[in-house]
């Protein structure tokens, strides 16, 4: 039973001009069930896609990627449920190609203009004969206003169809968008075990559409999780038919921002439906992170909380244990949020004295400050060798310091230590200590590095 998720209203799912949907029953897993969907696009449509990051991506995913990378003018999609055609090797690729060939032949287009999708059981051969037999039925059933049935046709363990529509008003006319999605298990960021399809009637440059699809995915389907597993078949496709008077060729077009916001909004709506209908789900949680150093750190913390079994069990029991949330944040390695590091006064003083000692030992040789003593070649060579060695060490440790506390803190720590050492050195020696600074700076950096590691805010 889905968590507070009402069924889509068929009358509110708007048709998209230039896009038709056809459903058939192939009996892939069981009889009398919608399990094949064909989407037909008008020529000239723009199509973009984002796919699973699982290394064992399914055969249809591999074909989809190839067809899109070849920049073929996509005119049809075929989706089957009941069988994922994943982990099936070269034979799986051959069978996926057969479905493309059969649909292309029936529509009078090339196989490279077809994108195949499969979802269902992994490691079983695709019953391609059943799918090919169902293709004529799906083509005969093609129509623009069958989004609800299309959402039913892509379901696997989902308990209900997931679909939504959105109309955006722009200065050049309305933009209509309708989308469907499925997925109930193997759900986690990058992406989930899901299929998502959004159709829109505007005209847009395909490269710009691909960029927007990636952005919308990162802010929606890549921001959900149920069980922490990443599927082999994840695919999210956006199709623009170009049948609307609205035209978007670049980001400066007046309608760009409105379409971008609409695409992200509809993607999030479909993604949330997937979570609410997760396998065994009884709660729907939204995690918001504030005060992080950047979005990547915030995502890492949110993912850590969402994946914690202890956090999940606490919320399942309606007992939001804050200690478990704190622990999940702690092992997310959010250094800048909860583990900031600063030097302490004793460490600074120690670094300063180390620099002064170095100065006292080597300054007389370099500046010839001892009366009637000329620096020997060996003394000069030893000073030079030490300088080269200390400089190398200084570079290594300074970059470690940068990695630990970041450039602003690293610079502040170094300048603070150097300033204190110079001040004390001038007071004690009563003369410039330029060379001493050069020789003592590596020790300052060493002390700063260890101080930054051991002293915590």
For residue range 205-228, what is the model confidence (pLDDT) as tens digits? 999 999 999 999 999 998 888 766
Same domain, 328 and 413: no
Verify that 150 and 74 share a domain, yes or no: yes
Which of 229, 244, 276 is a domain's end point?
276
Look up the CATH number of the domain holding residue 246: 3.60.70.12
Q: Clarify whether residues 349 and 334 are in a common domain.
A: no
How many CB atoms within 10 Å of residue 168?
A: 21
Question: Given CA atoms 85, 91, 97, 99 in this order, what sign does their dihedral have?
Answer: negative
- Same domain for 333 and 350, yes or no, is no
167 and 263 within one domain: yes
Q: Are residues 173 and 210 in the same domain?
A: yes
Question: Hey, which residues does 166 pair with through a beta bridge?
Answer: 177
Identify whether residues 108 and 49 lie together within a single domain: yes
Examine the domain organization and report whether 254 and 353 are in the same domain: no
Crossing angle (nearest 10°) for helices 434-454 and 377-429: 70
Indicate if 73 and 219 belong to the same structural domain.
yes
Residue 41 and residue 76: Cα distance in Å, rounded? 6
Q: Give catalytic residues, as residue numbers.
A: 193
Domain range spanning residue 402? 345-454
pLDDT tens, position by position, 419-436: 555 555 555 544 444 445
Q: What is the pLDDT of residue 292?
A: 84
Enumerate the β-bridge partners of residue 117.
Answer: 79
Please, what is the angle between helix 309-316 and helix 322-330, to 10°?
160
d(CA 122, CA 186): 12
In a domain, 2, yes or no: no
Q: Which of 121, 135, 307 is nearest to 231 (CA)?
A: 121
Into how many domains does the chain fold? Answer: 3
Q: Is residue 287 part of a domain?
A: no
* C-alpha span between 135 and 67 (Å, rounded): 20
- For residue 387, pLDDT over 60 is answered with no
Query: Are 200 and 238 contacting, i.e. CB atoms less than 8 angstroms apart?
Result: yes
Helix axes 345-367, 434-454, angle to 10 degrees: 160
Q: Are residues 105 and 159 in the same domain?
A: yes
- 401 and 423 part of one domain: yes
Q: What is the pLDDT of residues 320-339, one digit of tens each?
A: 788 999 899 888 864 444 44
Closest by CA to 23, choosing from 157, 197, 153, is 153
What token pair was written down for 317?
A: 């029991």
Residue 193 lies in a domain: yes
Query: Does a structural domain hold residue 324?
Result: yes
Q: Within this chain, do residues 320 and 372 fall inside the same structural domain, yes or no?
A: no
Tens digits of residue pLDDT in 257-282? 999 999 999 999 999 999 999 888 88
β partners of residue 120: 82
Last residue of a domain, one of 243, 276, 309: 276
Does residue 283 belong to any structural domain of this protein?
A: no
137-158 residue pLDDT tens: 999 999 999 999 999 999 998 9
Helices H, strands E: what count in the chain?
13, 11
* The model's pTM: 0.72
């Amino acid at each position: 039973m889905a968590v507070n998720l009402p069924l889509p209203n068929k009358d509110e799912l708007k048709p998209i001009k230039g896009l038709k949907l056809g459903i058939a029953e192939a009996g892939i897993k069981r009889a009398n069930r919608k399990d094949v969907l064909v989407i037909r696009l008008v020529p000239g449509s723009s199509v973009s896609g984002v796919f699973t990051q699982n290394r064992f991506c399914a055969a249809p995913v591999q074909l989809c990627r190839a067809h899109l990378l070849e920049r073929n003018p996509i005119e049809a999609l075929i989706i089957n449920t009941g069988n994922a055609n994943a982990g099936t090797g070269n034979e799986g690729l051959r069978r996926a190609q057969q479905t493309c060939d059969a649909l292309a032949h029936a529509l009078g287009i090339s196989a490279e203009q077809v994108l195949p999708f499969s979802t269902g059981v992994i490691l079983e051969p695709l019953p391609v004969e059943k799918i090919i037999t169902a293709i004529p039925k799906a083509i005969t059933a093609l129509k623009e206003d069958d989004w609800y049935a299309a959402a039913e046709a892509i379901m696997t363990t989902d308990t209900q169809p997931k679909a939504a529509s959105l109309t955006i008003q722009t200065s050049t006319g309305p933009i209509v968008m309708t989308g469907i999605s499925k997925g109930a298990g193997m759900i986690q960021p990058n992406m989930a075990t899901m299929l998502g399809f959004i159709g829109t009637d505007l005209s847009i440059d395909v490269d710009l559409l691909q960029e927007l699809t990636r952005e919308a995915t990162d802010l929606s389907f890549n921001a959900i999780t149920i069980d922490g597993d990443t599927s082999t078949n994840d695919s999210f496709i956006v199709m623009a038919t170009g049948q609307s008077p609205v035209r978007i060729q670049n980001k400066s077009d007046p309608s760009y921002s409105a379409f971008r916001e609409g695409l992200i909004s509809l993607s999030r709506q479909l993604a949330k439906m997937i979570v609410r209908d997760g396998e065994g789900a009884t709660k729907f949680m939204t995690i918001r992170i504030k005060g992080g150093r950047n979005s990547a750190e915030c995502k890492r913390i949110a993912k850590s909380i969402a994946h914690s079994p202890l956090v999940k069990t606490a919320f399942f029991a309606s007992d939001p244990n804050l200690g478990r949330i704190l622990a999940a944040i702690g092992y997310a390695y959010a250094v800048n949020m909860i583990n900031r590091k600063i030097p302490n006064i004793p460490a600074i003083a120690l670094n300063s004295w180390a620099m002064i000692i170095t100065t006292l030992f080597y300054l007389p040789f370099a500046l010839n400050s001892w009366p009637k003593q000329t620096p020997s070649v060996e003394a000069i060579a030893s000073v030079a060798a030490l300088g080269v060695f200390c400089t190398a060490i200084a570079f290594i440790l300074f970059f470690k310091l940068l990695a630990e506390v970041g450039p602003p803190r690293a610079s502040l720590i170094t300048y603070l230590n150097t300033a204190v050492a110079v001040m004390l050195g001038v007071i004690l020696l009563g003369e410039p200590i330029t060379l001493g600074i050069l020789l003592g700076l590596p020790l300052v950096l060493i002390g700063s590095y260890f101080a930054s590691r051991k002293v915590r805010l």
